Structure 1
């Protein structure tokens, strides 16, 4: 036999269900502009029915199962992957734009204008070799060119240092967010032990994972653990480049493993190699190693040794490792951190499959260019005769850097300068090729500077050996990069235009496309998880009608019960 109050209880459950649904709706509307908020919904199911021996199973109303979030995990995965890609290209594009500003091409202050001015000054000397003013102007122009390359080298090194600072800041932020996710994992695990959903805590965790995705390509791995009662519950693990960084409430930070010099460990340099462990004088040579510390061998399997022939960068940068001691692979971590590390470290080694070349490539390129340019200029100048009838001295020299044996370091963009003897005396310019009858230079002879001017149209070869011409990577690929062969202006244009310009355009175009795709995915995500004012107002009316109907039902049942309680059996009274 049914309970007298069963209809009343069913109506009350409907009233409470409508109230709770309205509470959730109010929470949604209140957070309509809250970043990262996920729309919530009160899920209702029919209450457990009772069995009436005469009527069968009778419904007892409604009960709220739980308050759930409306999310599409597949969209989350796609969105975070695209967000990481967008941020990678954003960081890369910003770095390449900075490089374009440093090279300032094309402009009257750019490298090609500097080189043109140098050769124009040579031409002026050829036309007026006896004029001391044209000689002085040439020396001044040469000094301007060397100062430009010195400044260019300094700016490029500053770019590397800035990228290193950015990478350090990103790693600090990442480790902080890893700890926050681990803390939220534990809070959610405890809060949901009763079967409810800690939705607002889940929002905070999802927002953190979104922010992590900007810095690295992170994967969410779900794991089922058992609580203190043995009940299974879900938690999150975070994976970066195959390495766990968060395992429930345990954190495995990306470690700062200290500073390393960007010489052979992080940024390989150009060096002559030999299979002998000693040089011609019996001095010990160094073992050639790649950026990961592996010994380099030639195609025949012979260990290679080297004596540096160009400058090491000598820049201090940070080495990062996962908790297990493995280096962060700049190819795979993605996001802004991956881009910053690649721009900081990449010399354009073909075997590394980097999307674009990093700042060290341009440091190496300008160093090798200046070295080749200075060597050719010095070869020509030393073959001539100066105003005193003496053999010409090298036009360019290095300063401020020495080799291990105390000798001046080879010329590069950072250390090049005009020979101090020539700066102090215009008579030291070797304009001619032959001596006059008095033993001094023939003032009518400008043949050597004609050869000098011809250098403008002569073939100059500049190669950047990432390791050495014979070294192969683990897959047998060559690791040598040829910057260019041609006239001096064309070679540097090939670096600034063909390499930097193409990379910068690719980064800009890819960023534009990635931004559009990320926005589209975000709109799709918001259409599922975001709060719609129109939808909530529609639901408000629906829940209001449900509430009013349940209240009316309670009133009706109350009147029926009043008849039973207060009126039955009172006939005739």
Structure 2
């Protein structure tokens, strides 16, 4: 005779399993908006059936089922999509930083505009042109001086802004290095905790979600590859180990600089280092080359002429000579002789040999300096970096620099936009697998609720049967 107590055990297992499923669905719903959370499911299996004993075999047909058991609570996660996300995310981080830097450079260059370097330089050449019409007029000379001061101010300001941008990038590099270091330590700690929890036979689902979220964040900053090993995630950047088990690498700015651009070849940190080296330093070099050429050309020409002083006096340096190419734009200034006395501005190439006095009405030098605008020059990069244009005028050179920045910015914007689309697509695919669907969870909760109620009703039925057997059987006729 089959035991009624077996039915009670089956009902109990049903209640406990459906209760676990309901609790897991509630956990999913509660974390529907939690970043990095992966949907969890209860894995149910039929309990091992039993066969009634007999001499050789049971005479009762079939085996008796023993209800349901849940073997584990597991998370739904696709490793391939995680790796694809990290791969696309690092490129998004790199191009986002490069785009940001180039847009800041465009704002510094401020071309084309009515207040940019080109306009200031045009005003300077035009002032010399006006001086050629009245070479002995002090007011016109004052205009030349003021326009020259405006040129030096414009170049000084642009150079200072570039230096400030370099400082901002260096500060951001330090922030990113600190962020990476902190993330590596958290991953190592989670490796240790997950190893402990799963060593006891449990699934550390929520801890694994936290660790994967940290990997997602890290992948945007530096290019990382992740390999799961028995003691946790083994995180690498190129050939450099960042996390091995519960041991993180002490990530520093020097380490990042040394790894660039071999092991560190993508991500926000790479983008910052690249932007500083290729964009900001490059534009500084172009600017310094232009200033150095302007100063040399104007000074060499100015020294050929004569000032308003008598006896005839040769014009000296119009701009202070460049002594440090790397700071040419930052230190550019008008010679103190010019700022102190506009009569020291040379405009004439003629001297009366009889009196040794300058012919003040002569305008040849003023015209010659004004014509520098149309002369072609070989711009010297001082070996720092390749110059964008050689054999062109100052206006052509500046146009070429502005065009290059514009093209680079447009390309960075296109790449960043494309990468954002790719990252969003991969993340959408991940969410379709791992994300929580509230509609699906609600439907599951109703399903588990009905199963729980049915198991409880079954338990009540078996309880009533046992009550009948225990309290009512054998008392007939009493």
- TM bucket (normalised to shorter chain) is over 0.9
Q: Does 1:366 align with 2:260?
A: no
Q: CA RMSD in A?
A: 2.2
Gapped regions of structure 1 (runs ≥ 5): 226-234, 257-319, 347-356, 403-408, 468-478
Which residue of 451, 454, 459 maps to 2:368?
Answer: 451
Aligned to 1:25: 25
2:343 maps to: 427
Picking from 189, 194, 218, the partner of 1:183 is 189
Q: Which moved more, 1:457-466 or 1:499-508?
A: 457-466
Q: Say if 1:464 and 1:482, in contact at 8 Å, map to a contact too.
A: no
Q: Relative contact order, CA 8 A, sep 6+: which one is greater?
A: 2
More strand by share: 1
Distance in 2 between residues matched to 1:171 and 1:411, nearest whole Å? 29
Provide the secondary structure at the position in 2 that maps to 1:417: coil
CA–CA separation in structure 1 for the residues paired with 2:419 and 2:123? 42
Deviation at 1:571, TM superposition (A): 4.2
Equivalent residue, structure 2, for 1:272: none
Displacement of 1:515: 1.7
- Size of the alignment, in residue pairs? 469
TM-score by length of 1: 0.78
2: CA distance between counterparts of 1:137 and 1:71?
Answer: 72
SS in 1 for 2:357: coil
CA–CA separation in structure 1 for the residues paired with 2:159 and 2:387: 20
Confirm whether residue 81 of structure 1 aligns to residue 87 of structure 2.
yes
Q: Is the 8 A contact 1:70 1:528 kept in 2?
A: yes
Q: Please list the CA deviations of residues 471-507 of structure 1 after superposition, one character each: whole Å capped at 9, or x if unmatched.
A: xxxxxxxx844444311111011112x2111111111
Identify if the C-alpha distance between structure 1 residues 330 and 155 changes in structure 2 by more than 3 Å, giving closer, same or farther. Answer: farther
| Unaligned runs of at least 5 residues, structure 2 | none
> Are the structure 2 counterparts of residues 87 and 411 from structure 1 closer, same or farther at C-alpha, using a change threshold of 3 Å?
closer
Match of 1:249 in 2: 246
- CA distance in 2: counterparts of 1:397 and 1:105, whole angstroms: 27
The one-character-per-residue Cα deviations of 1:374-424 (angstroms, maximum 9, x if unpaired) are 11112211222222322221221148x67xxxxxx7981122211211222
Partner of 2:333: 417
Partner deviation per Cα, 1:60-86 (whole Å, 9 max, x = no partner)? 111111111111111111222222222
Deviations 1:204-246 (CA, angstroms, capped at 9, x unpaired): 1112112212211222111124xxxxxxxxx111111221111
The equivalent of 2:297 in structure 1 is 376
**Does 2:296 correspond to 1:390?**
no
| 8 A Cα contact 1:185 1:248, kept in partner | yes
Answer whether contact 1:192 1:198 (CA < 8 A) is retained: yes
Secondary structure (helix, strand or coil) at the match of 2:461 reads helix
Work out which of the residue numbers 141, 158, 166 in structure 1 matches 2:147: 141
Choose 1 or 2 for highest CA Rg: 2
Task: Give the superposition deviation at 1:136.
Answer: 0.9
What is the Cα deviation at residue 565 of structure 1?
Answer: 3.2
Q: Which of 391, 398, 404 is matched with 1:485 structurally?
A: 391
Say if 1:484 and 1:333 are closer, same or farther in 2 by CA, change over 3 A.
Answer: same
- Higher fraction of helix: 2
